[in-house]
A and B are shown apart, each in its own frame.
Chain A
Amino acid sequence: MSEVLLRCANLDKRFGGVLALAEVGFSIKRGEIYGLIGPNGAGKTTLFDVLTGIYASEGGGFRFAGEALAGLRPDEIAARGIARTFQNIRLFGNLSALDNVMIGRHVRTRAGVFGAILRTRATLAEEAAIEKRALELLGYVGIAARANDVARELPYGDQRRLEIARALATEPKLLALDEPAAGMNATETQELKKLLERLRADGITILLIEHDVKLVMGLCDRVLVLDYGRNIAEGPPREVQRDPRVIEAYLGGAAA
């Protein structure tokens, strides 16, 4: 359990004159739910973008399952086992829920042009397996009945679930969720919590950006707090909550 899955060291990311990430370093152990919190603009999503290869970091690096991944393309990183969801949901909106999840299987399957045209036995078997797995995953996140519905027309909570199912389809070792509870009501958040606990029980490590304090406190094993691109605190949620620097970051200097 205590084996390190992801270790980041001295990550820097600059946008023009703005330092979005400054010497961010932390490590996530296999099997834990690791929270990432901080005020708006603290650099949480930027950190996600660096970890999933959308941005390259200017300094530092990160090792995932023993391999240095900094500088790889997003698809290469997905192939190595980091999958993510997006803060502003990025589903393939006009496709069915099932198609969305089936696309997630792309990176774990191999049929090429000739297989597709000739419909070889291997291709047909693979296609059947892709569909079966996609349906299973829709069931896993609890929206099996929505398989043929258009993604964009799903209720908000179901869209969030679908994004998780699509990410799971890539067979990630680390699932990075960017504000999965945003815009959810209390019931939906409760259900999301159950889903995340089930994922943990099934051995998937989770990196979670979340503003819902109750959810973070109840779910995360450890939490990292970012402010202006720097980590200002790390530890179990209860301790971090009492850290004066964290209180200052959230409430401003006057409150401290």
Chain B
Amino acid sequence: MRGVNIFSKAQAQWLGVALVAIALIGLPFALASVGTAWVRIANLAILFVFLSLGLNIVVGFAGLLDLGYIAFYAVGAYAYALLASPHFNLHLPFWVILPIGALVACLFGVLLGAPTLKLRGDYLAIVTLGFGEIVRIFLNNLSQPVNITNGPQGISRIDPFRFGSFSFSQTETMLGLVFSGPIKYYYLLLLLLLLAIVVNLRLQHSRIGRAWEAVREDEIAARAMGINTTHIKLLAFAMGASFGGVAGGMFAAIQGFISPESFVLVESVMVLSMVVLGGMGNIWGVVLGAVLLSFVPELLRYTVEPLQKSLFGRSIIEPEVIRMLLFGLALVLMMLYRPAGLLPSAVRKRELAKVAA
């Protein structure tokens, strides 16, 4: 049976957008009815989408493998924490700090990019991995002789986002609806995420985006065509890093506490997995990958143990272990059956087809 076409294609698209918008607006209340923990998970998921979008600029657009991306997240988080906590007794407003965090992360991006410009593939991956670790170890040890980062204890009592007397951490009731802190953050994050997506889409379809693609496809040809590859690669690192910086600032504010433990290598790998699983180079694929990899492990956390209890009467495998097992299995299956990702970019699909041929 053939469906009847009630809507034109454009109308159908707008209808789709409207439905997604309604779902996204309603989501936090649906989640809150299950438990506030789920709203927090949604917020973290948005942060990971943010991170994946940033990493996608470096890995997906410019084709530079970066295994230390979480360092920029850390830089942004610490920038926020140091400027808005009792640690230095500074309490700058968030709209001042977030741009500062982006800028500092951007600077670190150039710092990482500059010495690695001549490296490709494996070598670049190893250097960036080292960079990520260096940043984390610095954060861990910069408590002596002058206490800057407070070492492994981390920084606590970080200010939440505040507009005058309107704080994002307090619960309020408006129009008969209960807006808890996480719900308020959710809407702010969603807004910023939309902005980030627009920025990414526009960058991709621009002169700069094309230059990134050219560098990824054939660096020598790109240079011969007049592209300053040094400049364009640094730009990719800087742009990617600033997204990480903003995400880090939001993370610090939402959690209220950060320590170097949040910025370990596994986190970098996780973000990279989101990008690869979703579909490198395709913004919507990356969004999907980040959402899936943020939510599915949490779902497993809440289902694996009860399931084992009901089947065997006791918990045989720790939920944490089984989570990583399933995660690994999912990645292996993905690479076998959909190597270009869930929603691959057309270009990437062609690249992989060439490799396979």
> Is chain B found bound to chain A in the same assembly?
yes
Binding site for B on A (CB under 8 A): 52-54, 73-75, 78-79, 83-84, 86, 90-95, 99, 102-109, 111-113, 115-117, 119, 123, 126-127, 130, 150, 152, 166-167, 169-170
Q: Are B214 and A103 in contact (CB under 8 A)?
A: yes
Q: Are A90 and B223 in contact (CB under 8 A)?
A: no
CB distance from B129 to the nearest CB of A (A): 27
Q: Are B221 and A83 in contact (CB under 8 A)?
A: no
CB distance from B105 to the nearest CB of A (A): 15
In the bound complex, what is the Cα–Cα distance between A170 and B220 (angstroms)?
Answer: 15
Per the 8 Å Cβ criterion, residues 185-215 of B in contact with A are 199, 202-203, 206-211, 213-214
Q: Per a CB cutoff under 8 Å, which of A92, A99, A113, A117 touches B218? A: A92
In the bound complex, what is the Cα–Cα distance between A104 and B213 (angstroms)?
Answer: 12
Q: Are A103 and B213 in contact (CB under 8 A)?
A: yes
- Residues of chain B within 8 A of A84, CB atoms compared: 224
CB distance from B159 to the nearest CB of A (A): 29
Q: Can you give 11 A-B contacts (C-beta < 8 A)?
A: A73-B223, A79-B226, A90-B220, A90-B221, A94-B347, A94-B351, A103-B227, A113-B208, A113-B239, A126-B207, A150-B350
Q: Per a CB cutoff under 8 Å, which of B202, B213, B235 touches A99? A: B213
CB distance from A94 to the nearest CB of B (A): 4
Q: Are B222 and A103 in contact (CB under 8 A)?
A: yes
Count of inter-chain pairs, beta carbons less than 8 A: 108
Cβ of B229 within 8 Å of any chain A Cβ, yes or no, is yes
Known: A86-B221, A95-B213. A116 touches B208 (CB 8 A): yes
Q: Per a CB cutoff under 8 Å, which of A93, A106, A126, A170 touches B210? A: A106
Q: Are B223 and A74 in contact (CB under 8 A)?
A: yes
Q: Are B203 and A116 in contact (CB under 8 A)?
A: yes
Q: Are A111 and B210 in contact (CB under 8 A)?
A: no
Q: Are B217 and A127 in contact (CB under 8 A)?
A: no
Q: Are B207 and A78 in contact (CB under 8 A)?
A: no
Q: Per a CB cutoff under 8 Å, which of B207, B228, B354 touches A152? A: B354
In the bound complex, what is the Cα–Cα distance between A52 and B221 (angstroms)?
Answer: 11
CB distance from A169 to the nearest CB of B (A): 8
Binding site for A on B (CB under 8 A): 199, 202-203, 206-211, 213-214, 217-218, 220-229, 235, 239, 347-348, 350-351, 354
Known: A94-B350, A94-B351. A113 touches B225 (CB 8 A): no
In the bound complex, what is the Cα–Cα distance between A112 and B228 (angstroms)?
Answer: 13
Q: Are B225 and A78 in contact (CB under 8 A)?
A: yes
In the bound complex, what is the Cα–Cα distance between A104 and B354 (angstroms)?
Answer: 24
Q: Are B227 and A54 in contact (CB under 8 A)?
A: no
Known: A90-B218, A92-B214, A102-B210. A75 touches B227 (CB 8 A): yes
Main SS of the interface on chain B?
Answer: helix
- Residues of chain A within 8 A of B208, CB atoms compared: 111-113, 116
Q: Are B224 and A52 in contact (CB under 8 A)?
A: yes
In the bound complex, what is the Cα–Cα distance between A108 and B239 (angstroms)?
Answer: 23
- Residues of chain A within 8 A of B199, CB atoms compared: 117
- Residues of chain B within 8 A of A103, CB atoms compared: 210-211, 213-214, 222, 225, 227
In the bound complex, what is the Cα–Cα distance between A99 and B213 (angstroms)?
Answer: 10
In the bound complex, what is the Cα–Cα distance between A107 and B221 (angstroms)?
Answer: 13
The 3 closest A-B pairs by CB, nearest first: A107-B226, A78-B226, A116-B206
- Residues of chain B within 8 A of A169, CB atoms compared: 225
- Residues of chain B within 8 A of A127, CB atoms compared: 206-207
Known: A102-B210, A106-B207, A117-B203. A93 touches B217 (CB 8 A): yes
- Residues of chain A within 8 A of B214, CB atoms compared: 92, 103, 106
- Residues of chain B within 8 A of A86, CB atoms compared: 221, 224
Q: Are A117 and B207 in contact (CB under 8 A)?
A: no
Q: Are A73 and B228 in contact (CB under 8 A)?
A: yes
- Residues of chain A within 8 A of B225, CB atoms compared: 78, 83, 103-104, 106-107, 166-167, 169-170
- Residues of chain B within 8 A of A115, CB atoms compared: 206
- Residues of chain A within 8 A of B202, CB atoms compared: 116-117, 119
* Additional A-B contact list (4), CB under 8 Å, known A95-B217, A108-B226: A94-B347, A99-B210, A103-B211, A117-B199
- Residues of chain B within 8 A of A111, CB atoms compared: 206-208
In the bound complex, what is the Cα–Cα distance between A93 and B199 (angstroms)?
Answer: 26
Known: A93-B217, A94-B354, A150-B350. A106 touches B223 (CB 8 A): no
CB distance from A71 to the nearest CB of B (A): 15
Residue of A nearest to B203 (CB): A116
Q: Are B350 and A83 in contact (CB under 8 A)?
A: no
